[in-house]
Structure 1
Amino acid sequence: MALIHVPNPPLGVDLDAEAEDRDEFHIDKMATDFTEAEESIRHNVYPENDDEDEEHVHIGAARRGTAIMHGDGSMYKGQSFYNGIAFKECVLDYALVYGCNLKQYMYDRDRIGFKCVGAKGKCMWKVYAASLHNESMWRITLYTNRHICVPNGECEMFKTPVIARLFLDKIREEHEYYMPLKMEQTIMEKWKISVTRDQCQAARRKALAWIELEYDTQFERLRDYGAEILEANEGSVVEVDTVKNEAGQDVFKRFYVCYDVLRRTWKKSCRPLIGVDGCFLKEKIKGQLLVALGRDVDNAIYPIAWCVVQVENTDNWSWFVNRLKIDLELGDGDGYIMVSDRQKGLIKAVELELPKIEHRKCVRHIYGNLKKNHPNKMRLKKLLWDLAWCYNSKDYEESLERIHAYDSKLYEDVMKTKPKIWCRAFDKIGNYCEDVENNSVESFNNTINKAREKPFVAMLECVRRLAMVRIAKRSAISHSHEGICTPYVKRFLAEEHKATSLCFVHPSTNGAYEVYLGYDKHIVNLNDRTCTCMKFQICRIPCEHAGRRITRRGLFHTIGLALEVKVHPPPRPDDEKVDKKRKKGVHESPTKKKPKEKKRIMHCGICGAADHNCRYHQKKKNKKNTTQGGTQVESTQGCLTQEK
């Protein structure tokens, strides 16, 4: 496979399967808002084994530059190692744990020995390992574990290469901040070993040289990195574009990657909007990272694809847009939206590759440019954004008039930007994306600011992991969400509800209504989901005018069953006589109506018997009182009376 060469010293990332992840520190920082810290997995620790007699093999870094996994420093005769470097690391672990003054005295190709030079060289501790001819492993053949010295903070084993290897990962991650003073303090605080500032400075330079050499070698294998992506992510697209130089070597030109899971999910569940922008790389390969981001159903950032080019021009933008067109199946762009700063090269590329796409201009960039020319216009920001947020041509014209009244020169500069290509009032209906700025891409570029300081492939891996973490976090939120509306829609409706209560509704036919808000009148049609303010059509979320009618309609729905029973007016007096008779008493005759030939039967109010009334009993009582004296009880036809 042909190697890739660049004019400047190239960069890259280690592709060795044993290489440790160098970027976790920065990934955790960049993904703080999207994920919580988890306990790291210890990969190089063997599980407990029931076979106690199994030979122990020390697992260490087998080559220069690999992260050192510090152990407890235990050694014994017969202990095996994969190679001489692993044996040296084991001895280094011993020195770090016990603080002994160890020194290497045997440097042969297949034999290495260390001894303790404490107590003025009289200490008896010694260890010796060799690569035996009949074995492929290294083995300790001599080990005298006896010290007569006392640790005093000195260790001749701590030469420049050893210090460089100890701090290799830290220097790789924080090469701008991890200085010799910090290295010297760390060695003393952590291992109680004294080193000089010059030693740390030399160790730092050596570590940086190793890192640069490592990245140079890794960048040459950029095609291998692309092959690894395709193998691990089936269906993804990776393209490494190179050009031949005079020597016939492949010189890097640009790199593109689009992961299959991002592509499929965007097409399936995200809004038909693509925001594109570029940001500068900060390492030795000076170029630009071009990113394409979408919006999910909650209007949050969704990474789609990214590429690295040498310069932002028409050719590179055309290449990037063409790749997006093919991978996302955009066709001629009809039904999709692109938001950008409308750089000249990008405008030509979009017109060529996606002639029917709706290409919106980012208002944030427009405001920045106008602010440079009109730095003292304090109302510029409000006036410009009010213009961009207009939903209909009437509000658009009124906003322009306010700008003209404020400053005629500012009005002329605004008109030069062609406001109809960045005002909501002139957006195509049907995509339901109300964005007028490219803030999502700007935010993403700021998030990966640390990644852009890394070498080439390390930077690409950092961006990939950040995208993965963000999507995983959003997925967890979406699966735990309850309700019929997304959080974004809830916030939208909450803002609309503030004005909804002030609206007055007058119904019409065919689902249409007149809605008044102050002196403004709008026509709402719930069947067609439209409103003359145009917000309902552009956002596909009910505006304050439609929201008022929907709220009242929901109230009627709750009493709909009662309203289904028809209620008729009472009969007119000419049609039916009104019964004005009083209600009968408790003891009145139950007979309601009798034939005319029969007389009404009288009933007593005391005993309830027929053919007499209460006066009959009064007469009987008076008659008795006149003929007899005293008190008596008389029963007359079942009536009981008490007389005195």
Structure 2
Amino acid sequence: MALVPVVNPPIGVEFDEEGEDRDEFHIDKLATDFTETEESIRHNVYPESDDESEGNGRGGAARGGTPIVRGDGIMYKGQRFYNGIAFKECVTDYALATGCNLKQYRYDRDRIGFRCVGAKGKCQWKVYAASLHNESMWRITKYTNTHVCVPNGECEMFKVPVIARLFLDKIREEPDYYMPLKMEQTIMEKWKISATRGQCQAARRKALAWIASEYDTQFERLRDYGAEILEANQGSVVEIDTVKNDAGHDVFKRFYVCFDVLRKTWKKTCRPLIGVDGCFLKEKIKGQLLVALGRDADNAIYPIAWSVVQVENTDNWSWFVNRLKIDLELGDGDGYIMVSDRQKGLIKAVELELPKIEHRKCVRHIYGNLKKTHPDKKQLKKLLWDLAWSYNTRDYEERLERIHAYDSKVYEDVMKTKPKTWCRAFHKIGSYCEDVENNSVESFNNTINKAREKPFVAMLETVRRLAMVRIAKRSAISYSHEGLCTPYVTRFLADEHKAASTCFVSPSTNGAYEVYLGYDKHRVCLNARTCTCMKFQICGIPCEHAYGLMIKKTLVAEDYVCEWFRTAKWRQNYTDGLVPQRGPRFWPSTGGENVYPPPKPDDEKIDKKRKKGVNESPTKKQPKQKKRIMHCGICGAADHNCRYHQKKKNKKNTTQVESSQGCLTQEK
């Protein structure tokens, strides 16, 4: 019974003029009574009703207020369900919880019944549900909860669709792990039910078909997915381009996304550097994933934007670069740097959209092209990279002359690549980035290699989640770091410490010093943070000459590092992150037309594995007789197929029969 608040003081309790209680015993008694009669606050529990005809009770347990948890397999007479499928799921949960051998015996549209066929069909357990004419829901009308059987691992209702539903989420998350053999073992360990290898194999195929259908539906709702991005991360930019086909359907052409948090953070806290590249998609919907990345204060990659196009050409690159130009407010590109490979469509797009940007070409790709023309030149790699790493024009001229002395034809081909566009000596001062290759973007493409094998929307979600988690982890690392500068600076100075410790310093006026290192002599000014070797100005971190001066004067080298590599800037890089998004069930409905996948080309033969360049380290070749490694469709192991398990099973059965016949002969 609910407690009625007391307005007037009870008999025997007196108050003084100030309203204070003079009888503590009665107050304690009232507090105790209130606590004992107070009901605990519960969530997701149906309230009790005085009308017993509602059919919500199932005996003492239900009337006592015990909540019914979906999936526990509990059933009782009068229990209601929204439809017959929900009733079947409840019976399935009961079979999994008890391990009893249940079988469906009634299949009518409005009536379904199950019985236990254990104990050679003598078990009395039975349940029957029907959709009554005067009700819109299903209800259990007959239920005999009496078992005389003992579970033996057999369950006739445990068929392929049931197994497929049980492992649907697991197969979606780890399709390569949950093979038929693993599924069979899991069923026995978790539910003590025996399932055949063939059932698990068929269930896995059915689950994969359901998953593929889900992903196809998600692709059709691509506009709803874009709306979810804009709703969760307000201010972001999502663009979905489609074209009409002959049937009047919207066919996918390209997709672009730039999160507002990423572009604002890049503008405020990152160096004006953008690395761009493209990589192949490997699922049903083929195409190219174009990415744009920046650099944080620890010189690690920072995602900016990404896009999906059908082919890597001038038109699509121009579209992508134009989107970056608008979203990042690049103007004509003056004061910014872009690093990329020498893809012709990209070079043309950058010239049209960002004519004043400093466009650096990746030396690794340049070397790969030169290696194809001059495969027998063993010294080409060292000579080319030494040229790219030149910090000043004097070193550049000397190393270029070495290439000319090595081979005049190699020299001519090197000059055709315009080395001033990829050599450090000609980098603009102020960007504080010494990179001459696009390894950061290549590293990102390798990170999302598994994502590129997923269906379209799942791939986009994986890339977004990777960026979100990366920012969260980097934020924790940056705030736990206690140094003045980032770990990148520590590693940079550690590489220079040995040479810096051998420097000989001669002082001058106005903060200038003359520093000897071997046969070289340079002028260093700590006030201006410059060195005539130009490495200090290009990197933003003291070179070996400046570092040697600081060692002699016992100065802290980190005090002379530019602000882009400070820990405070690093923390600003990762102060704000992406807002988590919801699943497809909760995407907003835009009411737009469905998006259809583009038609597949007839001669489509795209290898899922990336082909290595000429300059990359070769891998160990397989023997000629093992060019193609066979994998089993049941257990996933190599060097055998599903017939191996069948032969093994037949051999085992034959041995058992022979053994039993031998026993009978001995008895006779």
Cα RMSD of the aligned pairs, angstroms, is 2.6
Paired with 2:278 and 2:555, the residues of 1 have a C-alpha distance of 51
Aligned to 1:197: 197
Aligned to 1:621: none
| Residue-by-residue CA offset, 1:178-222 (whole Å, 9 max, x unaligned) | 443443343334333233333333323322322222222221110
Aligned to 1:163: 163
CA contact (8 A) 1:56 1:80 kept: no
Measure how far apart 1:136 and its partner are: 5.6
Residues 1:393 and 1:167: Cα distance change in structure 2 (over 3 Å): same
Aligned to 2:397: 397
CA contact (8 A) 1:391 1:424 kept: yes
Paired with 2:464 and 2:349, the residues of 1 have a C-alpha distance of 26
Residues 1:74 and 1:377: Cα distance change in structure 2 (over 3 Å): farther
Aligned to 1:317: 317
Aligned to 1:104: 104
Alignment of 1:86-485 (within 5 A): 86-131=86-131, 137-175=137-175, 178-485=178-485
Measure how far apart 1:258 and its partner are: 0.8
Amino acid of the structure 2 residue aligned with 1:212:
A
Amino acid of the structure 2 residue aligned with 1:525:
C
Paired with 2:181 and 2:484, the residues of 1 have a C-alpha distance of 58
Paired with 2:331 and 2:188, the residues of 1 have a C-alpha distance of 64
Instruction: Look up the SS of the partner of 1:225 in the other structure.
Output: helix
Residues 1:541 and 1:556: Cα distance change in structure 2 (over 3 Å): closer
Aligned to 2:531: 531
Measure how far apart 1:247 and its partner are: 1.8
Paired with 2:556 and 2:316, the residues of 1 have a C-alpha distance of 59
Q: Larger radius of gyration, structure 1 or 2?
A: 1
CA contact (8 A) 1:153 1:192 kept: yes
Amino acid of the structure 1 residue aligned with 2:161:
P
Measure how far apart 1:276 and its partner are: 0.7
| Residue-by-residue CA offset, 1:530-586 (whole Å, 9 max, x unaligned) | 2110111111211112223334445699xxxxxxxxxxxxxxxxxxxxxxxxxxxxx
Instruction: Look up the SS of the partner of 1:150 in the other structure.
Output: coil
Measure how far apart 1:411 and its partner are: 3.1
More displaced, 133-142 or 453-462? 133-142
Measure how far apart 1:440 and its partner are: 1.0
Q: Does 1:488 align with 2:469?
A: no
Paired with 2:493 and 2:176, the residues of 1 have a C-alpha distance of 48
Residues 1:46 and 1:107: Cα distance change in structure 2 (over 3 Å): farther
Instruction: Look up the SS of the partner of 1:431 in the other structure.
Output: coil
Paired with 2:133 and 2:217, the residues of 1 have a C-alpha distance of 33
More displaced, 192-201 or 49-58? 49-58
Measure how far apart 1:527 and its partner are: 2.5
| Residue-by-residue CA offset, 1:421-474 (whole Å, 9 max, x unaligned) | 111111011111111111111111111111111110011001100111111111
| Residue-by-residue CA offset, 1:22-80 (whole Å, 9 max, x unaligned) | xxxxxxxxxxxxxxxxxxxxxxx977999874474554xxxxxxxxxxx4433333444
Paired with 1:372 and 1:556, the residues of 2 have a C-alpha distance of 48
Instruction: Look up the SS of the partner of 1:303 in the other structure.
Output: strand
CA contact (8 A) 1:58 1:80 kept: no
Paired with 1:135 and 1:206, the residues of 2 have a C-alpha distance of 34
Q: Does 1:501 align with 2:501?
A: yes
Instruction: Look up the SS of the partner of 1:86 in the other structure.
Output: helix
5+ residue gaps, structure 1, are 1-44, 60-70, 558-644
Instruction: Look up the SS of the partner of 1:248 in the other structure.
Output: coil
Q: Choose between structure 1 and 2: higher helix proportion.
A: 2
CA contact (8 A) 1:526 1:546 kept: yes
Residues 1:154 and 1:527: Cα distance change in structure 2 (over 3 Å): same
Paired with 1:57 and 1:449, the residues of 2 have a C-alpha distance of 44
5+ residue gaps, structure 2, are 1-41, 49-62, 558-668
Measure how far apart 1:150 and its partner are: 2.2
Amino acid of the structure 2 residue aligned with 1:392:
N
Alignment of 1:547-562 (within 5 A): 547-554=547-554
Amino acid of the structure 2 residue aligned with 1:205:
R
Measure how far apart 1:351 and its partner are: 0.8
Paired with 2:486 and 2:158, the residues of 1 have a C-alpha distance of 59
| Residue-by-residue CA offset, 1:333-364 (whole Å, 9 max, x unaligned) | 11111111121000111111111111111122
Paired with 2:82 and 2:64, the residues of 1 have a C-alpha distance of 19
Alignment of 1:587-606 (within 5 A): none
Instruction: Look up the SS of the partner of 2:437 in the other structure.
Output: coil
Measure how far apart 1:302 and its partner are: 0.7
Residues 1:53 and 1:229: Cα distance change in structure 2 (over 3 Å): farther
Paired with 2:531 and 2:90, the residues of 1 have a C-alpha distance of 76
Measure how far apart 1:117 and its partner are: 1.4
Paired with 2:314 and 2:368, the residues of 1 have a C-alpha distance of 23
More displaced, 243-252 or 540-549? 540-549
CA contact (8 A) 1:266 1:294 kept: yes
Measure how far apart 1:138 and its partner are: 4.1
Measure how far apart 1:513 and its partner are: 2.0
Amino acid of the structure 1 residue aligned with 2:348:
K
CA contact (8 A) 2:72 2:93 kept: yes
Instruction: Look up the SS of the partner of 2:513 in the other structure.
Output: strand
Measure how far apart 1:400 and its partner are: 2.0
Instruction: Look up the SS of the partner of 1:541 in the other structure.
Output: coil
Paired with 2:170 and 2:367, the residues of 1 have a C-alpha distance of 42
Aligned to 2:515: 515
CA contact (8 A) 1:57 1:80 kept: no
| Residue-by-residue CA offset, 1:82-113 (whole Å, 9 max, x unaligned) | 44333322221221222211112233444432
Instruction: Look up the SS of the partner of 2:255 in the other structure.
Output: strand
Amino acid of the structure 1 residue aligned with 2:501:
S
Amino acid of the structure 1 residue aligned with 2:156:
E
Alignment of 1:12-51 (within 5 A): none
Instruction: Look up the SS of the partner of 1:277 in the other structure.
Output: strand
More displaced, 340-349 or 474-483? 474-483
CA contact (8 A) 1:58 1:86 kept: no
Residues 1:435 and 1:135: Cα distance change in structure 2 (over 3 Å): farther
Paired with 2:177 and 2:84, the residues of 1 have a C-alpha distance of 33
CA contact (8 A) 1:57 1:79 kept: no
Instruction: Look up the SS of the partner of 1:400 in the other structure.
Output: helix
Measure how far apart 1:328 and its partner are: 0.9
Measure how far apart 1:366 and its partner are: 1.9
Amino acid of the structure 1 residue aligned with 2:97:
V
CA contact (8 A) 1:56 1:79 kept: no
Aligned length: 502
Paired with 2:174 and 2:372, the residues of 1 have a C-alpha distance of 36
Paired with 1:272 and 1:134, the residues of 2 have a C-alpha distance of 71
More displaced, 464-473 or 107-116? 107-116
TM-score by length of 2: 0.71
Aligned to 2:608: none
Residues 1:432 and 1:546: Cα distance change in structure 2 (over 3 Å): same
Measure how far apart 1:123 and its partner are: 1.1
Paired with 1:412 and 1:392, the residues of 2 have a C-alpha distance of 22
Paired with 2:313 and 2:415, the residues of 1 have a C-alpha distance of 26
Percent of pairs with identical residues = 85
Paired with 2:382 and 2:97, the residues of 1 have a C-alpha distance of 65
Amino acid of the structure 1 residue aligned with 2:215:
Y
Measure how far apart 1:484 and its partner are: 1.7
Instruction: Look up the SS of the partner of 2:345 in the other structure.
Output: helix
Paired with 2:317 and 2:484, the residues of 1 have a C-alpha distance of 40
Paired with 2:224 and 2:354, the residues of 1 have a C-alpha distance of 32
More displaced, 361-370 or 171-180? 171-180
Measure how far apart 1:503 and its partner are: 1.6
